């Protein structure tokens, strides 16, 4: 049987932030529908790798290929469009927009991709319900618990039906019960919709939700292993 083609590939990425070199030739492959954990010590380059893979940051050298397209060859406008339609992102602190209601936060990515307001709000409501955030649609994010806010952030990341979700320490600010609820919701929905997840974590319990794990050490991928 021929090997499947990765959906997203980082090839020998290097990236420096001023005088600090965060990535020194990191290579990784993400396959369609898989959940890949990227682990490693603080400062090993995990977030920088995620930013390069998701097209938020351009690497100094090396290549990122998504579905046959090299991100570095895309003009900024095409790259933004691709990020809006194909990628979803969740950070450690959900980064919901504080001035908008929870419902409008989740509806926003749909509005940005051309869905009409009524349709976007209806779909956002369905996704919030799916993530167990009920009856809080009209609150501001600051009025939610940490776990509810992260589940709303997941709804926002998944509402457009992306093929890849990038999750940077999505449970890092939560207690273990809320963290488990967030991970269960993320894994369940990703499996159901065939969405690939690149999950950054330093927590072995969180990494255990993944199909596969890669470990970064000093900006390179140090080891490959199967966790499940
Ligand atoms: N914007 C920046 N400006 C300067 N240095 C940075 C910047 N972002 C990251 N770095 C440095 O690059 C290195 C890698 O950082 P990165 O955030 O990618 O690692 P990480 O593994 O995600 O760390 P953590 O687990 O602590 O979030 C670190 O030494 C960090 O201090």
Asked whether residue 70 is domain-assigned, the answer is yes
> Complex ipTM, two decimals?
0.95
Q: pLDDT at position 223, please? A: 63
Sign of the CA dihedral running 172, 174, 180, 184 = negative
State pTM to two decimals. 0.92
The residue whose CA is least distant from atom 12 of ligand 1 is 22
SS3 117: helix
For residue 101, count other CB atoms closer than 10 A to its CB: 19
For residue 154 the two structure tokens come to: 């997941």
The answer to whether position 66 is within a domain reads: yes
Distance CA(198)–CA(173), nearest Å, equals 18
- Domain total of the chain: 1
pLDDT for res 224 = 57
Indicate whether 97 belongs to any domain.
yes
pLDDT at 228: 42
State the pLDDT at residue 92. Answer: 79
User: Which residues is 44 bridged to in the sheet?
Assistant: none
Number of H helices, E strands in the chain: 7, 10
Query: From residue 160, how far is each of 64, 124, 154 by CA, in Å?
Result: 22, 10, 11
Task: Using the mean position of ligand 1's atoms as its centre, give its distance from the Cα of residue 39 in Å.
Answer: 14
Q: Ligand 1, residues 15, 24, 45: which to mutate, most atoms within 8 A of Cβ? A: 45
User: Per the domain annotation, does 1 fall within a domain?
Assistant: no
Asked if residue 2 belongs to a domain, the reply is no
Q: 67 CA distance to ligand 1 centroid (A)?
A: 27
Residue 134 lies in a domain: yes
CA dihedral of 93, 99, 101, 105, whole degrees rounded to 10: -60
Which stretch of DSSP H or E encloses residue 179? Answer: helix 176-193
From first CA to last CA, the distance across the chain in angstroms is: 22
Determine, yes or no, domain membership for 35.
yes
* CATH assignment of the domain containing 27: 3.40.50.300
What is the full per-residue pLDDT of the chain (228 aa) written as tens digits? 566 889 999 999 999 999 999 999 999 999 999 999 999 999 999 999 999 999 999 999 999 999 999 999 999 999 999 999 999 998 877 689 999 999 999 999 999 989 999 999 999 999 999 888 989 999 999 999 888 998 999 999 999 999 999 999 988 888 888 889 889 999 999 999 999 999 999 889 999 999 999 999 999 998 654 444
Q: Residue 176: which of 214, 204, 212, 135 has the closest Cα? A: 204
Residue 83 belongs to domain spanning: 8-226
CA 224 to chain centre: 20
Contacts of 6 by beta carbon, 8 Å cutoff, 6+ apart: 29, 30, 31
CB of 171 closer than 6 angstroms to any ligand 1 atom:
no
Residue 3 in any domain: the answer is no
pLDDT number for residue 2: 66
């Amino acid at each position: 049987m021929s090997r499947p083609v990765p959906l997203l590939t980082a090839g020998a990425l290097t990236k420096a932030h001023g005088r600090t070199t965060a990535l020194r030739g990191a290579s990784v492959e993400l396959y369609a529908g898989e959940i890949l954990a990227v682990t490693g010590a603080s400062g090993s380059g995990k977030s920088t790798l995620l930013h390069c893979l998701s097209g938020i940051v351009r690497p100094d050298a090396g290549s990122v290929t998504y579905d046959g397209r090299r991100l570095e060859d895309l003009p900024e406008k095409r790259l933004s469009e691709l990020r809006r339609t194909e990628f979803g992102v969740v950070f450690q602190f959900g980064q919901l927009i504080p001035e908008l209601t929870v419902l409008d936060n989740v509806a926003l990515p749909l509005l940005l991709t051309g869905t009409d307001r009524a349709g976007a709000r209806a779909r956002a409501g369905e996704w919030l319900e799916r993530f167990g955030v009920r009856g809080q649609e009209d609150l501001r994010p600051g009025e939610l618990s940490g776990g509810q806010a992260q589940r709303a952030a997941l709804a926002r990341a998944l509402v457009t039906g992306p093929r890849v979700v990038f999750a940077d320490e999505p449970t890092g600010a939560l207690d273990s019960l809320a963290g488990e609820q967030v991970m269960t919701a993320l894994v369940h929905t990703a499996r159901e919709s065939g969405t690939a997840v690149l999950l950054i974590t330093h927590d072995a319990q969180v990494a255990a939700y993944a199909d596969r794990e890669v470990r970064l050490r000093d900006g390179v991928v140090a080891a490959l292993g199967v966790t499940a």
